[in-house]
């Protein structure tokens, strides 16, 4: 198990632990009192991440030190925890929690200046009791949210999976899971922070890795196009798909995109060299 499961999993996968979908819905404050800046773990984490990134071009040694420090802080830091999950586990998550709602993606606003303005476009998901008070943050949920039943949420997740999106649950303070994002490189900030800058906490590798059945692989290359992490290549000599297990995040996009059924997911812990690679 990964370090998040050791802390929040109660013996299982942390994102499938029902306890991690519950928290106090409302906190009472003195009437008229304003919320203190930085009290929100998401806001504090984003601000700290920006501070680290600003050193990348001004002081490379300081940047490396700060990234290493942030990775070592893990649950003690202000950063969100996120982990790549395959489609089947994303479906289990919507069965565990409710309500579920689709909304616009903040990452695409920041990276593409593109705002999703209708349920047909919404690619970000919120889940759990926090969605019952979404109207308290109109600046985040501009344009509203679209609530769905568990079956509708599964269809929605499957649609984005077919389009090549990676599923990443996100925490909002402690172990509380409040989001299930559909991400891709280079739009997604947490994937960019991990792949480009080595910041681990927001985008941990999943509990699975992909493996190829070479007898079934036809070398079509569809899986290579769907990999968001650069783990897949076509071998020059055999024209078969080759997966770098050290690069694989276990998202399963290659599995769901393989028309020949040549790719399957295996437990990361079954490979000794990968047991500490998160």
pLDDT more than 70, % of the chain: 89
Q: Which of 122-126, 140-144, 224-228, 231-235 has the lowest mean pLDDT?
A: 140-144
Q: Sign of torsion, CA 234 240 241 242?
A: negative
Q: In the prediction, which pLDDT does 225 show?
A: 95
Res. 236 pLDDT band, cuts 50 70 90: very high
pLDDT at 165: 97
Let me know: does 199 contact 219? Beta carbons within 8 Å. no
What is the C-alpha to C-alpha distance for residues 198 and 37, in angstroms, rounded to an integer? 27
Give the integer Cα–Cα distance in Å for 84 and 181. 10
Cis peptide bond upstream of 99, omega within 30: yes
pLDDT tens, residue by residue, 184-216 = 998 999 999 999 999 998 899 999 999 999 999
The whole-chain average pLDDT of the chain stands at 88
Q: What is the pTM of this model?
A: 0.89
pLDDT of amino acid 73: 80
pLDDT at 37: 43
- Residue 2, pLDDT > 50, answer yes
Average pLDDT of the residues in 59-86: 86
| Structure confidence by residue, pLDDT tens digits, 121-171 | 999 999 988 888 777 766 667 778 999 999 999 999 999 999 999 999 998
- As to burial, measured by CB atoms within 10 angstroms (0-12 exposed, 13-18 middle, 19+ buried), residue 267 is exposed
What's the distance, CA 1 to chain centroid? 17
- pLDDT of amino acid 276: 92
Query: Dihedral (C-alpha) 238, 212, 200, 73: value to the nearest 10 degrees?
Result: -130
The pLDDT, as a whole number, for residue 131 is: 86
Residue 98's pLDDT is 84
Residue 135 CB contacts under 8 Å (≥ 6 apart), including other chains = 141
Span 239-245, average pLDDT: 96
Does 100 have pLDDT greater than 70? yes
Dump the DSSP string for the chain: --HHHHHHSTTS-GGG-GGGG---S-----TTPPPPTT-SHHHHHHHHHHHHHTTTTT-HHHHHHHHHHHHHHGGGSS---BB-B-HHHHHHHHHHS--EEEE--HHHHHHH-----STTT--EEEESGGGGGGGG-TTTSTT--EEE-HHHHHHHHHHHHHTTPEEEEEESSTT-EEEEEEE-TTT-HHHHHHHHH---GGGB--SEEEEE-TTT-----HHHHH-SSS-EEE-TTT--EEE-TTT-----HHHHH-TT--EEEEEGGGSGGGTT--
Report the C-alpha gap between 93 and 85 in whole angstroms. 10
22-44: per-residue pLDDT in tens?
A: 776 555 556 665 554 445 555 66
pLDDT at position 30: 60
Q: What is the pLDDT of residue 31?
A: 64
In DSSP notation, 62-120 reads HHHHHHHHHHHHGGGSS---BB-B-HHHHHHHHHHS--EEEE--HHHHHHH-----STT
Average pLDDT (233-243) is: 94
């Amino acid at each position: 198990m990964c370090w998040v499961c050791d802390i929040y999993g109660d013996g299982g996968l942390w994102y499938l632990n029902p306890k991690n979908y519950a928290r106090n819905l409302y906190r009472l404050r003195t009437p008229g009192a304003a919320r203190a800046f930085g009290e929100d773990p998401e806001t504090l984490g984003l601000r700290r991440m920006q501070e680290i990134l600003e050193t990348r071009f001004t002081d490379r040694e300081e940047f490396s030190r700060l990234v290493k420090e942030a990775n070592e802080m893990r649950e003690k830091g202000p950063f969100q925890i996120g982990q790549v999950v395959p489609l089947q586990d994303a479906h289990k998550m919507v069965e565990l929690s409710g309500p579920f709602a689709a909304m616009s993606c903040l990452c695409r606003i920041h990276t593409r200046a593109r705002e999703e303005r209708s349920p047909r476009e919404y690619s970000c998901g919120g889940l759990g009791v926090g969605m019952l008070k979404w109207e308290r943050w109109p600046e985040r949920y501009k344009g509203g949210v679209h609530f769905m039943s568990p079956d509708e949420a599964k269809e929605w997740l499957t649609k984005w999976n077919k389009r090549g999106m990676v599923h990443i649950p996100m925490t909002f303070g402690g172990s509380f899971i409040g989001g299930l994002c559909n991400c891709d490189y280079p739009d997604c900030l947490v994937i960019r922070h991990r792949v480009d800058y080595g910041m681990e906490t927001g985008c941990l590798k999943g509990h699975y890795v992909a493996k190829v059945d070479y007898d079934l692989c036809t070398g079509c290359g569809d899986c290579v196009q769907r990999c968001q992490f650069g783990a897949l290549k076509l071998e020059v000599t055999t024209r078969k798909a080759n997966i770098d297990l050290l690069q694989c995040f276990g998202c399963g996009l290659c599995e769901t995109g393989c028309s020949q059924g040549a790719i399957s997911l295996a437990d990361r812990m079954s490979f000794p060299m990968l047991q500490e690679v998160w």
